[in-house]
Amino acid sequence: QISEAEVALFSVSSYACQRRTTLDNHNSNLTDALSLLAENAELNNEDGRGVAFRRAAALMKALPTQVISMSQLRGLPCLGEHSLRVIKDVLENGVSSEVESTKQSKRYKALKILTGIFGVGAKTADRWIREGIYNLEQLRHSGQTLNRAQKSGLEHYDDLNEPVTKAEADAIGEIVQKAVDSVLTGSQVALTGGFRRGKLTGHDVDFLITHPEEGKEVGLMPKVVAWLESRGFLLYQKTTRNSYLESKDGPARPASNMDRFERCFSIFKLTKGKEQETASHKIWRAVRVDLVVSPISQFAFAVLGWTGSKLFERELRRWAGHEKNMSLSSHALFDNTQNKYLRATSEEEIFAYLGLEYIPPSERNA
């Protein structure tokens, strides 16, 4: 037993955007358990519960040492009754019984497999399960109509469920840079998402494209996509137009947290290096790539919004709204008190407007 005097109590902010969360996690036994329950809640469309588990997991990720006793958690924010019960179970028994039974459940397994298909979300998976479809084999023989994304997702299922490495992300980055240079000189490409936070693998590769002259970026995406397509780099792509209008979408928050940039959801055909060639002798693999085009005037907000983590972004917006009476999106920052937009050309300026200490990407891994 550890006496109370021996355990150090932690003190951390309740907002993830006020914490420095690096990739080195001293409590992965606890965060894995909480993250799995968060994922399960999200897969069941229980968003409130999902966020509660995500926030609890993120708090544990930010602790400077390994937690060994419940008494260390006294006074910490973000830990609800349910999360505390899970943590207690893991600390006392090595595993959480709830996590174990979730992992074993037929429904969780089916939701994981089916949403592992690109283009399939929780709602579609739930409908299929209710029709008795639990795996890919049953789906293939079900006669269900799949859309173009889902067909592609099913075709490249194994590749797309294989983590993307940083080396692969960089190789794709070179291709994208070449495409962008060829269609509009002076354009810039930035790697965002998890790789910008220093992650070594990801489920996809996220890029943000802009041009230093405002307006030059208009119409860029179709040209980039055409360049990539003509050279055989794309297995699938769907481009959506930019639908952001400051006058219309500005201060009034969009219904979802989805931004309105011109965006291309794609599946790249990436030729493997000699070392990565497998026994199957397949010389390429499929990789999910997101391309987003931003006007330079919104670029700092877009970079901030696309660097993540998802929880860090959610917390930034919560902080902005609740503590500063401001509305933050990947397009802009609006001050509701002064009734005006706050312009920025760097992430540092945006943190400053929000009254937050600057947190670099590598410490946004909440």
How far is Cα 264 from Cα 223, in angstroms, rounded to an integer? 12
In whole angstroms, the minimum distance from the beta carbon of 340 to ligand DCP comes to: 24
Nearest to 286 by CA among 192, 154, 177: 154
φ, ψ at 363 (rounded to 5°): -110, 20
Residues 104, 319: Cα–Cα separation, whole Å: 37
Number of Cβ within a 10 Å radius of residue 271: 13
Binding residue (CB under 6 A) for ligand DCP from 20, 82, 107, 203? 203
Distance CA 138, CA 114 (A): 11
Site mask for ligand DCP (CB under 6 A), range 167-196, x = bound: --------------------------xx--
Catalytic residue among 159, 206, 249, 335: 206
Closer CB to ligand DCP, 42 or 204, in the complex: 204
Using an 8 Å Cβ cutoff, are 289 and 266 in contact?
yes
- Asked if 42 touches Mg ion (CB under 5 A), the answer is no
- DSSP secondary structure string for all residues of 75-98: T-SS--HHHHHHHHHHHHHSS-HH
Give the number of residues in contact with ligand DCP, rule: CB under 6 A: 16
Assess 262 for contact with ligand DCP (CB under 6 A).
Answer: no
Give me the least distance between CB of 173 and ligand DCP, in Å please. 14
Q: Which does 70 bind (CB under 5 to 8 A by kind): ligand DCP, Mg ion, none?
A: none
C-alpha–C-alpha distance, residues 289 and 153, integer Å: 13
Show the site string, 314-333: x = touches ligand DCP by CB under 6 A, - = not. ----------------x---
Q: Does 206 bind ligand DCP (CB under 6 A)?
A: yes
**Phi-psi label, residue 232: left if phi above 0, alpha if psi -120 to 50, beta otherwise:** left
Q: Which of residues 177-236 bind Mg ion (CB under 5 A)?
A: 193-194, 202, 204, 206
Q: Taking CB under 6 A as the rule, does residue 313 contact ligand DCP?
A: yes
Q: How far is the CB of 347 from ligand DCP (least distance, A)?
A: 14
- What is the closest distance, in whole angstroms, from the C-beta atom of residue 163 to ligand DCP in the complex? 8
- The nearest distance, CB 165 to Mg ion, in angstroms, is 13
- The candidate with the shortest Cα–Cα distance to 346, out of 302, 294, 290, is 302
Out of 23, 258, 336, 357, the residue judged to bind ligand DCP by CB under 6 A: 258
Q: Which does 310 bind (CB under 5 to 8 A by kind): ligand DCP, Mg ion, none?
A: ligand DCP
Q: Active site residue: 204, 249, 259, 335, which one?
A: 204
From its phi and psi, is residue 132 left (phi > 0), alpha (psi between -120 and 50) or beta? Answer: left
Q: Which residues contact 161 (CB under 8 A, 6 or more apart)?
A: 116
Residue tagged active-site, from 32, 181, 290, 335: 290
Residue 39 binding partner per list Mg ion, ligand DCP, none, with a CB distance cut-off of 5 to 8 Å that depends on partner kind: none
* Residue 290 appears among annotated catalytic residues: yes
Least distance (Å) from ligand DCP to the CB of residue 165? 11
Q: Is 364 exposed, middle or buried (0-12, 13-18, 19+ CB in 10 A)?
A: buried
Indicate if 204 belongs to the active site.
Answer: yes
- 14-41 burial, b for 16+ CB within 10 Å, e for fewer? ebbbbbebeeebebebbbbbbbbbbbbb
Is residue 269 a contact partner of residue 233, using CB atoms and an 8 Å limit?
yes
Q: Which two tokens stand for residue 319?
A: 């902080």
17, 312 Cβ separation under 8 angstroms? yes
Min CB(7)–ligand DCP separation in Å: 33
Q: Which is nearer to ligand DCP, 102 or 307 (CB)?
A: 307
Question: Is 206 an annotated catalytic residue?
Answer: yes
Question: Residue 50's binding partner, choosing from ligand DCP, Mg ion, none, with beta-carbon cut-off 5 to 8 A by kind?
Answer: none
Give the footprint of Mg ion on this chain (CB under 5 A). 193-194, 202, 204, 206
Give the footprint of ligand DCP on this chain (CB under 6 A). 193-194, 199, 202-204, 206, 258-259, 305-306, 308-310, 313, 330
Known catalytic residues are: 204, 206, 290
